[in-house]
């Protein structure tokens, strides 16, 4: 439970409040200043005057939302005033940015007159791409929203109404599916006739609930036909022909209860009086109409949702507004219409039925979630919500004609993933390439939990064809315990495989002059890891990913035994991709060669440069030391200098230089002003370290202190595609990424083998292969 002093300290420590404005363009020089403000700023002003749509190109309007409140219905605090509500509006801004990368200005308006409030908000239209209204009391909020939607040409959304409705609507769809009830047959009782209650009732009708099957209750009891006390037009729509006059009477035999009221208004007896398999949404905050334990103790067949994070099925509005606005802004929607809200509801409902990634489970203390009574809506920290919901909203906007600009939905998915993290954007291209021609990838640790989760994703996303190595019964039992569907995945057991004897013979021939006896060969091949490597060697698989349960050397050593190096111009090395805020760098060697010679460094550089090109980047290489171009003479700097000479001799076209200090390598001003003779004119993107300890230390420091996202380490220079996980420090996503890299490597190898075969290929055949 959050303590008062803890909450106050959170808001006042360091920089006060929760948000700040951060420039997106440099303002470091006189030129920058002239471009950011006068005289340069006049040019975009002229363009926007000629074409108002140009504002989306030259200003932040397209990604800017106003969070506006008059403080008349703040959380459960009531009418506390605009200023007192400011922390809530700042908090809303944090959620917009954190979950959907949308920028926000919070605007607290000291105005109670609904008509004047409408005019104030309307006057802000030139500034913003959308309006999120917050904490405006009912029934005034209904008028304000309706009027603004009529007169504004940007999306207007009242989260207290529509957010709760959209998310609880997804819970309703899935809850009814689980208990086998049709929406057009269920009897629904609402308690609370304010903004959220009325909006939920309206949204449920749009989803398929019959108006005549709804009973609405407020502080005076049931809203029935003929009632005059405390009525307004919005309640009147739901006035029902019923003899029930109290909430308890209304809930008798009800299928669904939807609470948007206050704590402790529902008793255990009321829940007991509901129909079989009741659905209870007790969404009052911070304390629900009835607690989860009380509802469950009343009857064990209840499906329960609340607004609290410490109970299952939290109806949290953060599942709605960030992603709805993301989709609306990205198509420049003129409104958020009912079809877009329905699309959001169905997207959330569908996502809840999908297997839950390990990263989501980790965010909730390792808890496992499976579609069912205790998991009917996604979790707020499920990154997939952005991909599913924003895309659904954008599509609905285009389908209904309110989108200002059409978008390619497939490319839009990639754009959304880029907002989730820079590594996702980089890897999306690799994954797309893998999907064009999936390959067979071996996973020797077939029983490991994260491997099972990852192989399911690899299969479902068609990245590759996973092969699990191990005892099939053990693997299937482990998958069943984890509720991971591995139906259709290939499982190979070395103890019973028809390939085992041929693998033993081949491994023996490979290693017999290196101290390996036939008995040793058999013992090795019976090991899952060696067996998987032999599958790759003999062409029964295209690549291997391992290291989930073994340390790096334990995986690398067998790989080098099965694939001994024969090409002395290519050396096995570990390379990490570091994705920074505005740049991508590659570091090598970070995992394999402890104290490389000059020749080794040259081999490592050439191998890594070739692999950088696989990511669609031209390598610009710096060999690092503590010396700049001979400024210090020492055996360690001489080694690096000699390596540069070797590299230039082998590949004169490669952009490479050294030895140089790290800041020189990444600062073009130093290179061009102090060392104009250097072949490297731009910031280096491939940094080669003089030894393993410096490379390993450097990438981990940049990762932790520089907030870099890491892909790797990538094992480069192997004869066949083999990738090694860092035991204890990897996620399911890391496994999926390494598998995608392995598939792409295998694709390249297959293409090379069109030309390098045991039989000579004629020139016409080569030309035909190139064309195909």
Q: Which residues are catalytic?
A: 37, 92
195: tokens are 């903004």
Exposed / middle / buried, residue 706 (Cβ in 10 Å: 0-12, 13-18, 19+): exposed
718: tokens are 């192997």
Q: How many CB atoms lie within 10 A of CB 444?
A: 29
342: tokens are 């329905």
Q: Please give the order of strands across the beta sheet that includes 214-218.
A: 221-222, 214-218, 188-191, 256-259, 279-282, 303-306
Listed residue (597, 606, 599) closest to 653, CA to CA: 606
**Are residues 565 and 572 in contact, defined by beta-carbon separation less than 8 angstroms?**
yes
Q: How many CB atoms lie within 10 A of CB 38?
A: 9
Q: What is the largest CA-CA distance in the chain?
A: 99
Q: How many CB atoms lie within 10 A of CB 334?
A: 17
611: tokens are 């692999």
Exposed / middle / buried, residue 434 (Cβ in 10 Å: 0-12, 13-18, 19+): buried
Distances in whole angstroms, Cα of residue 499 to Cα of each of 397, 401, 493, 510: 56, 60, 10, 16
DSSP letter at 692 equals: H
Residue with tokens 């198509």: 331
Quote the CA–CA distance of 376 and 369 in Å, as a whole number.
10
Q: Which residues pair with 156 in a beta bridge?
A: 131
- For the chain, the residue count is 772
**Are residues 168 and 305 in contact, defined by beta-carbon separation less than 8 angstroms?**
yes
Quote the CA–CA distance of 3 and 300 in Å, as a whole number.
32
Report phi then psi at 461, rounded to 5.
-90, 5
DSSP letter at 240 equals: B
DSSP letter string, 718-747: -SS-EEE--TTS--HHHHHHHHHHHHHHHH
Determine the number of helices (DSSP H) and then strands (DSSP E) in the chain. 33, 21
Listed residue (81, 147, 126, 128) closest to 108, CA to CA: 81
């Amino acid at each position: 439970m959050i303590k008062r002093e803890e909450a106050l300290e959170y808001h006042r420590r360091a920089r006060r409040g929760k948000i700040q404005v951060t420039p997106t363009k440099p303002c470091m020089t006189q030129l920058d200043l002239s471009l950011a403000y006068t005289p340069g700023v006049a040019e975009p002003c002229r363009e926007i005057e000629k074409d108002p749509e140009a504002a989306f190109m030259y200003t932040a309007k397209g990604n800017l939302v106003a969070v506006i409140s008059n403080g008349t219905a703040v959380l459960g605090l009531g009418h506390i005033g605009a200023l007192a509500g400011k922390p809530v509006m700042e908090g809303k801004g944090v959620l917009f940015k954190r979950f959907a990368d949308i920028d926000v200005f919070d605007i607290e308006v000291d105005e109670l007159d609904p008509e004047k409030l409408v005019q104030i908000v309307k006057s802000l239209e030139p500034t913003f791409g959308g309006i999120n209204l917050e904490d405006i009391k009912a029934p005034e909020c209904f008028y304000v929203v309706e009027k603004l939607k009529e007169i504004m040409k940007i999306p207007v959304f009242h989260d207290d109404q529509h957010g709760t409705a959209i998310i609880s609507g997804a819970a309703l769809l899935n809850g009814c599916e689980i208990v086998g009830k049709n929406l057009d047959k269920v009897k629904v009782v609402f308690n609370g006739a304010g903004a959220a209650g009325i909006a939920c009732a309206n949204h449920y009708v749009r989803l398929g609930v019959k108006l005549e099957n709804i009973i609405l209750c407020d502080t005076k009891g049931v809203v029935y036909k003929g009632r005059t006390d405390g009525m307004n037009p919005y309640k009147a729509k739901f006035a029902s022909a019923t003899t029930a006059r109290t909430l308890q009477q209304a809930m008798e035999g009800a299928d669904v209860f939807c609470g948007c009221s206050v704590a402790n208004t529902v008793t255990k007896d009321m829940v007991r009086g509901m129909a079989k398999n009741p659905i209870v949404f007790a969404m009052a905050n911070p304390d629900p109409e009835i607690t989860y334990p009380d509802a469950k103790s009343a009857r064990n067949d209840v499906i329960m949702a609340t607004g609290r994070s410490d109970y299952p099925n939290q109806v949290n509005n953060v599942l709605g507004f960030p992603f709805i606005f993301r989709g609306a802004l990205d198509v420049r929607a003129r409104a958020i219409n009912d079809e877009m809200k329905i699309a959001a509801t169905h997207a959330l409902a569908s996502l809840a039925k999908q297997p839950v990634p390990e990263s989501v489970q980790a965010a909730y203390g390792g808890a496992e979630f499976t579609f069912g009574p205790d998991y009917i809506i996604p979790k707020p920290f499920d990154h997939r919500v952005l991909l599913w919901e924003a895309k659904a909203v954008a599509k609905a906007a285009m389908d209904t004609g309110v989108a200002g600009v059409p978008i390619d939905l497939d490319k839009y998915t990639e754009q959304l993933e880029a907002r989730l993290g820079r590594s996702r954007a980089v890897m999306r291209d690799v994954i797309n390439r893998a999907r064009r021609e999936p390959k067979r990838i071996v996973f020797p640790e077939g029983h490991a939990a994260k491997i099972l989760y990852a192989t399911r994703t690899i299969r479902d996303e068609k990245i590759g064809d996973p092969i699990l190595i191990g005892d099939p019964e053990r693997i299937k039992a482990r998958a069943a315990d984890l509720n991971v569907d591995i139906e259709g995945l290939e499982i190979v057991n070395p103890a019973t495989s028809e390939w085992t004897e041929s693998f033993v013979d081949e491994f023996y021939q490979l290693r017999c002059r290196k101290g390996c006896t036939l008995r040793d060969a058999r013992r090795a091949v019976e090991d899952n890891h060696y067996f998987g490597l032999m599958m790759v060697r003999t062409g029964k698989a295209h690549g291997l990913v391992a290291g989930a349960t073994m340390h790096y050397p334990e995986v690398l050593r067998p790989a080098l035994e099965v694939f001994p190096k024969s090409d002395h111009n290519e050396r096995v090395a570990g390379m990490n991709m570091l994705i920074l805020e505005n740049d991508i760098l590659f570091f090598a060697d970070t995992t394999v060669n402890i104290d490389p010679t000059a020749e080794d460094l040259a081999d490592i550089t050439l191998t890594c440069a070739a692999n950088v090109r696989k990511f669609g980047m031209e390598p610009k290489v710096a060999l690092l030391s503590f010396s700049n171009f001979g400024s210090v003479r020492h055996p360690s700097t001489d080694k690096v200098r000699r390596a540069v000479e070797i590299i230039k001799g082998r590949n004169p076209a490669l952009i490479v230089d050294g030895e140089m200090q790290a800041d020189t390598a990444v600062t073009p001003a130093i290179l061009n002003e102090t060392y104009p003779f250097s072949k490297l004119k731009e910031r280096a993107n491939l940094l080669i370290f003089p030894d393993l300890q410096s490379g390993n230390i450097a990438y981990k420091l940049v990762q932790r202190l520089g907030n870099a996202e890491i892909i790797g380490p990538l094992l480069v220079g192997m004869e066949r595609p083999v990738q090694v996980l860092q035991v204890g420090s990897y996620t399911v996503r890391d496994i999926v990424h390494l598998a995608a890299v392995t598939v792409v490597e295998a694709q390249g190898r297959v293409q090379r083998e069109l030309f390098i075969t045991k039989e000579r290929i004629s020139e016409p055949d080569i030309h035909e292969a190139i064309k195909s």
